[in-house]
Structure formats: C-alpha cells, structure tokens
C-alpha cells in the first residue's frame, strides 16, 4: 500500500512525499493532446461506449407521490412539446425504499406503464442504492436472503456484516470486491428486469453513518 502526500507547487509542478509502497509514474508525451489521449487509452483501455439513447433529453426528480403523479409529469412534457427521451424512477417507486421492489399501493401498474413508454419511444431508468434492508424475516425479502446465503456483505474486523442506515432504514452493504457479490448483483438485476423492463440503472453513492 502506498501512502503519499501530494502538494501542488506554485509552478506547474507536483511534490510527492511517500512512505513505503511503490510509485509508478507514466508519461504520455504526445506530442499533440490527441496523441497523448490515444497513448493513455492504449495503456488503460478504451471506455465503455454508452448507448446512443443515453445522450437524449432526460427527466429525473425525486418526490413523485405515486404513478399517477409521474404520468402527469410525462404528459406535461408532451403537452408543451418538451423533448423527452428518458424518464427516471427514483426511490419513490420502491416498497419501503427497498431495492428490487415495487410499491404495491401507489406503483402497482408501473411495469405496464414502462412497457407503454417504451412502445412510445421513451426509455426508463431506475435508481438502485447499493444498500440492502436487513430487517426482514427470512423469506420475506429475497435480495437479503440471497445475499446472506452467498455471504457477500461488507464486514467488520470480527467478520460480521457492517450495519448502516440509509433510505430503507437498517442495511447491509454489498462488498463489490467479492467475486460472489458480482454474481449476486447480476442475478438480482436480471430477475428484477423480468418484473420491470428498465433500460438502465442509476447507481447512487451512499455515505453510511
């Protein structure tokens, strides 16, 4: 592990002070900026090409009371001929703010509405928080049960899952450095897509108390 203190100098320069570890420096000399970028990409790999539709006009907000409220917002966009290629669903659509759920009261018809939007040419992106509610009884919340079975939570020095608190309340945090966690996440996302045919995921960063 490299511990370093980096100081910006008045001149165009940096001062590195390191304690142990290894420091590898790479210089991409160009000579043109375009050539320097090309050399950098040859070293680290090319970025993922985003889908063309992701460059479209997007409407995202938190605070829809229910599906009817979201539908009204979409209709206003069309009423005033405002370009609208992508609609987002924030945590409003979830049951008790829990990932991979749909509120059965105000949002029960969301899957059918998403299908309608897609037929009309509007994509739908959902929010997912990287935190899973941990208070449900066994069998009540499959993402928690599956995560427990696969042992994929971030743990403390005693090997116990670290408990935090975010939108749903008490939560465990998936450890994405664990290869099994990748499998767990993939299965949960695929299973939920069979329920709600979303086009993209908006992954929110979380700071735990």
Going along the chain from its start, the domains and CATH numbers come out as 3-44 (no CATH), 52-203 (3.20.20.80)
One pLDDT digit (tens) per residue for the chain, 209 residues:
556 778 888 877 888 787 777 778 889 999 999 999 999 999 999 988 889 999 999 999 999 999 999 999 999 999 999 999 999 999 999 999 999 999 999 999 999 999 999 999 999 999 998 899 999 999 999 999 999 999 999 999 899 999 999 889 999 999 989 999 999 999 999 999 999 999 999 988 654 44
| Per-residue model confidence (pLDDT) at position 32 | 96
Confirm if 196 and 126 have CB atoms less than 8 A apart: yes
CA distance 26 to 41: 12
| Per-residue model confidence (pLDDT) at position 33 | 95
Q: What is the pTM of this model?
A: 0.78
| Per-residue model confidence (pLDDT) at position 208 | 46
Whether the link from the prior residue into 31 is cis, omega within 30° of 0, is yes
Beta strands 169-172 and 58-59, pairing class: unpaired
| Per-residue model confidence (pLDDT) at position 3 | 65
For 129, other C-beta atoms within 10 Å of its C-beta total 21
Nearest by Cα to 126 from 35, 62, 208: 62
Q: Which residue has the tokens 């966690």?
A: 181
Direct distance between the N- and C-terminal alpha carbons of the chain, in angstroms, rounded to an integer: 26
| Per-residue model confidence (pLDDT) at position 9 | 81
Tokens read off for 158: 């005693």
């Amino acid at each position: 592990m490299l511990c370093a203190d980096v100081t910006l100098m008045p001149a165009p320069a940096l001062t590195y002070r390191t304690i142990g570890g290894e420091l590898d420096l790479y210089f991409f000399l160009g000579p043109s900026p375009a050539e320097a970028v090309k050399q950098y990409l040859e070293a680290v790999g090319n970025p993922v090409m985003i889908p063309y539709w992701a460059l479209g006009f997007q409407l995202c907000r938190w605070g829809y009371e229910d599906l009817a409220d979201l539908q009204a917002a979409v209709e206003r966009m069309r009423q005033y001929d405002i370009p609208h290629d992508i609609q987002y669903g924030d945590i409003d659509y979830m049951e008790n703010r829990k990932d991979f759920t749909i509120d059965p009261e105000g949002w029960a018809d969301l899957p059918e509405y998403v299908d309608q939007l897609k037929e009309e040419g509007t994509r739908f992106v959902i929010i997912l928080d990287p935190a899973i509610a941990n208070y449900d009884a066994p069998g009540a919340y499959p993402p928690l049960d599956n995560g427990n079975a696969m042992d994929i939570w971030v743990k403390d020095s005693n090997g116990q899952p670290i408990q935090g608190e975010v939108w749903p309340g008490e939560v465990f945090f998936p450890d994405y450095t664990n290869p099994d966690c990748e499998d767990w996440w993939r299965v949960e996302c695929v299973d939920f897509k069979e329920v709600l045919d979303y086009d993209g995921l908006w992954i929110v960063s979380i700071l735990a108390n």
